[in-house]
A = this chain, B = another copy of it.
């Protein structure tokens, strides 16, 4: 039999030459033969684009056409796939992605913010033009979780998604615990190590992880990305005392995302919570990510790997590029964008135990007031501990029995009205994972 003709090379235009962009370029240069063997096509880079042309990035760039403007790069006739690695929900990333789709290019992106905010519009544009947008690198770094969910579990009604998906937050929380250091010091360490986004609130505010959860929820439940409806809470109020108290009770504090579809609507929350220290999620150290996918047929699948960094993120980008080279085409969120439903946001009504830390003013009867507020809200106390007074203030830790969030919120509001609680209590759900 004669050898079939090899298809034309797949030509990439890469915008953004930071850690990830350079990582992608390195693999494309070093592993060209392997990639061709695996995809049946040569994969070439035609043009590149970044903010600073002169910077030495440790990789020779003279073989590629340089563009100053990502929109120009994205619409070049000699580019088949626009690889968007600039980041940012709006601005150049969005403009260039739209231009690429308009010009009939496929898009590979690592940009969770852009898709969490504009995913529906971009998916509709892509699908209207017969183009694909692939975003494996946008969620959980090197873990092929978008692929597992969209393709591997396509025969499942997904019942729940859980995940630790921001390595920086997990680094901060595990470092606080292991070194016994307060949040501010570890936050500064993370900053010095370059672990934080330019706007650190994207990390520690839970926004980045929330973007990722919103994208997975859209695929899992066939709903439009609904990041704005997510219950979102960052790790900035977690103190070393919280971490120690959790540890004493056999828990660890994780910034955990949970999403599930219920009769009442779509639950999505990204918040610090307590998980059993011996559970796989509890044992997750440092920058590692873990995603748990639950489906009615498959049961529970757990995926663990590096959530960020040059190699892992580049690996995910390359996986998407290889899929496109192999001719795999599917809707952006796994089913046509115009068939995705609007989801009603729902807050979990499943009772859960909660950990509550509050600061009491040192007044007679203060603790009794708090206890009676809890009783009025029908929140029953599993354990309570009051520490030594410092400066007229007493820290109090409470672990509740299983209680609906609504009842807890009522109690928290009641506490504010007592006049004996300083500031806002910290309330963390204890998740049975």
Q: Name A residues whose Cβ lies closer than 8 Å to a Cβ of B.
A: 1, 23, 27, 31, 34-35, 37-40, 128, 136, 142-144, 147-148, 151-157, 222, 280, 295-306, 309, 311-312, 314-319, 321-323, 326-331, 334-336, 339
Most buried by B among A154, A295, A318, A334: A154
- With beta carbons under 8 angstroms apart, the residue of B31, B143, B297 that contacts A314 is B297
Contact A314 B148 (CB under 8 A): no
Q: Closest approach, in angstroms, between the C-beta of A164 and any C-beta of chain B?
A: 13
| A154 CB contact (under 8 Å) in B148, B311, B319, B327 | B319
Extra inter-chain contacts (19) besides given A38-B334, A38-B335, CB under 8 Å: A31-B155, A34-B157, A142-B297, A144-B147, A147-B147, A151-B151, A151-B323, A152-B319, A154-B318, A155-B318, A155-B319, A156-B318, A280-B304, A295-B315, A297-B318, A299-B311, A299-B312, A302-B302, A326-B329
Q: Once the chains are docked, how many angstroms separate the CA of A38 from the CA of B327?
A: 17
User: Can you list 30 A-B contacts with CB-CB less than 8 angstroms, sorted by A residue number?
Assistant: A23-B297, A37-B339, A38-B334, A39-B154, A40-B331, A40-B336, A144-B147, A144-B148, A144-B152, A144-B301, A147-B148, A152-B316, A154-B318, A155-B318, A155-B319, A155-B322, A295-B315, A297-B311, A297-B318, A298-B311, A298-B315, A298-B316, A299-B305, A299-B311, A300-B305, A301-B304, A303-B303, A304-B304, A326-B328, A327-B327
B23 touches A154 (CB 8 A): no
Cβ–Cβ contact A311 & B329, under 8 A: no
- Chain B residues, CB < 8 A from A311: 296-299
Complex CA gap A295/B148 in Å reads 18
- Would you give the shortest CB distance from A133 to chain B, in whole angstroms? 16
